[in-house]
Structure 1
Amino acid sequence: MKTLVSAELTKVGEKFIHAGMANVCKKCRLKKVCMGNLKIGRIYKIVKIYDKIFPCEIYGSVKLAEVEPAPLLIAYPSSKVISNALMTYSQIPCDISDCEYFGYCGKVRGLKEGDKFKIVKVAIEKIRCRKGYDLKLLEVQPIV
């Protein structure tokens, strides 16, 4: 999908979280191409940047770019892992904030409860869950 990215700060391979539309963007003639394809809270990866430069009140100038949803790491119950299947994300309840896997279990940046994803690969076959859950660490591709 296409969007507009900062002409000065972005490179192919970089990721960003779409935070939504600023007030100044509401009157911009480019808002549809800039914001129209992106979903708030999603993480995107830049795969191609075009040379054409457009003015922007926030960044000064922007370029047209091809982006795709970025792969994410999540912890997921081992019993629910099915390779090549379309899966539905649900948070794993956890309050152990000093756990090394905490950011992969609860509120994972870039995914919301009920979002669809596909498993890219199993990153860690069995993680040491301090709550005793049987979990794998997965690299997943969100379906937007």
Structure 2
Amino acid sequence: MITLIGKKLAKEGESFIFYEPAEECSTCRFKASCIDSLEEGHKYTITEVRDVEQKCPIHEDEKVQVVVVEKGETTILTDSKGVFEGSSFEFNRQGCSNKDCDFRDMCFPEEIGKGEKCVYIKDLGKFNDCPRGNSLIKCVVKIYDK
């Protein structure tokens, strides 16, 4: 999918999470090609930087660059049983009240919502360092494209 991103941020292989559009975006003539195809809270990876720039008042140097993005991959910890590389599953966050855990970001990744469908990209093996003793799998996933 094609979108626009600040010129200084437009680097192949870079990832970003789209949180929400700026207020100024609602009346911008590039809104359809810039933000309308992005889903709030999702991670994207830039796969191609095109040689086209546009003016944009909200970005540094007031310029954006055309880029091609795809949904980004995320490393998570999950207890999903019966999943294997290439399969899809519904992501369910772990029941954990330990707010100070060093691994919390992998059990509660901000870019994947509860119940979102993910594709299991790569198995990174069993994860035995959970402070609560949960049996977890470390894996790389990508949100399923709708």
Q: Fold match, TM over 0.5?
A: yes
**Residue 25 of structure 1, CA deviation:** 0.9
Runs of at least 5 residues in structure 1 that lack an aligned partner in the other structure = none
In the alignment, residue 17 of structure 2 is paired with which amino acid?
I
User: Number of aligned pairs?
Assistant: 143
Deviations 1:64-92 (A, max 9, x none): 11001110011111534333211110100
Local SS of the residue matching 1:8: helix
Answer yes or no: is 1:67 the counterpart of 2:90. no
Answer yes or no: is 1:44 the counterpart of 2:44. yes
- Structure 1 match to 2:79: 77
**How do 1:1-144 and structure 2 match up within 5 A?**
1-59=1-59, 60-77=62-79, 79-105=81-107, 107-144=108-145
Provide the TM-score with structure 1 as the length reference: 0.91
Structure 1 contact 54–61 (Cα < 8 Å) conserved: yes
Structure 1 contact 127–137 (Cα < 8 Å) conserved: no
Deviations 1:81-126 (A, max 9, x none): 3332111101001122333322111x31210011111111112323
Provide the TM-score with structure 2 as the length reference: 0.90
Runs of at least 5 residues in structure 2 that lack an aligned partner in the other structure = none
In the alignment, residue 117 of structure 1 is paired with which amino acid?
C
RMSD: 1.4
With 119-128 and 36-45 compared, the bigger mean Cα shift is at 119-128
